[in-house]
Amino acid sequence: MELLPDCYTDLCINGKWFHYAHGETAVFMLNGSSPLLFELDTMPTTEGELEMHLTCISESLVNK
């Protein structure tokens, strides 16, 4: 699905919730009162692309 401007998507990947404001290159991982900010390599244009970015971020957190 195409990511429409001026919207947002919340996704749960590997038990971690992410909030993405469409049209940005940053994504927040919800972490209690201290959300973590991650910069994406490229701006996703579809939900599938966003999910691929977030899966990589999530897996890197698990492997730490």
Q: Each residue of 10-47: pLDDT tens digit?
A: 999 999 999 999 999 999 999 888 899 999 999 999 99
Residue 64 has pLDDT above 70, yes or no: no
Structure confidence at residue 62 (pLDDT): 77
Contact 38, 8 (CB under 8 A): no
pLDDT at residue number 20? 97
Q: How many residues does the chain have?
A: 64
Residue with tokens 């940005």: 24
Q: How far is CA 1 from the centre of its chain?
A: 15
**Mean pLDDT computed over 2-12:** 93
* pLDDT computed for residue 24 by the predictor: 93
pLDDT for residue 16: 92
Within the chain, residue ranges assigned H as helices are: 47-62
